[in-house]
Structure 1
Amino acid sequence: MRKSNVEIPLRSTGIAVVLLKKFENEYKVLLLKRASAVLHNAWCYIGGSIEEGETAWQAALREIKEETGITNVSLYSSNTFDQFYSPIENYIYIAPVFVGFVNAEQDVNLNHEHSEYIWLSFHEAIEQATMPGNDEVLKFIEKHFVKTAPSEFLQVGK
């Protein structure tokens, strides 16, 4: 009798955004503390769902505005992804990560999804981020978007 293989489904229904802001010649990362039941009290960067009719980068801009009130941002595709496996539902979730450069005059105004926010150095953000894998995303972004200038080819939403 021949056994058939079963595939683990992939779901890609959301986005993630790492916001960067320059403070005295150093880029810092915005981390938000979750106030919702899912990931309660976890420190993370922006994440959210893609709504019908949106592209991933349009969802990123909407989520930035909804979660932080920030509207003046230069957005880039990072060419990296957030990913995790759900053992309860047996699927792999994957989300494109975007990088947003925030203008200095932009202030954060949190919505109900978060209770606190903090701007941290990359080293501090890597230590503070709650979810496994966030550290690798942050290291990747520091290497490709801070230590070297991002390619104009990756800029979206111009």
Structure 2
Amino acid sequence: MEDCNASVPKEVVLEVMPLSSNFSDYKCVFTPSKPFPSREAAISWLQMIGGENKFVLVTKRSDAGGIKRRGRVKIACERSGTYRGLAQRVGKGKAAKFLKKSRNDEKARSHTGTKKCGCPFQINVKENADSLWYVTVICGKHNHDTAEDWIRGGGS
């Protein structure tokens, strides 16, 4: 693991980077030393590093690019966002709307918990003009335990 603050004196690091025990910063861990030759290589590397650190990463948003557009991918922790609940589709095509189902609806599933806890961890992967893929950590903090701790503890 590369030390992001290798050139900064330790006294300064202790003053500048105090982290709460509830938020662990993984920015250094997910910052590669060089760009990747392909989108797949970048995503595979991120998934591997995530697995080594016991975090599950998912694709939040993706754009393959095209004419006059470069590809990009937004990667986030599987626990990012919030639970959206049940929805019922009304209408067809572009005019379709989604209405929230009530708890009393016969088809409504009982609440079984959610992994979502609003984790702010986010990474952008972008293709540059040189056709290389660059990884930028937007937020390297997780606000929850690792997946291993969560499974071991039986959390929801």
User: TM over 0.5, yes or no?
Assistant: no
* Bigger strand share: 1
Larger radius of gyration: 2
Q: TM-score range by the shorter chain?
A: under 0.3
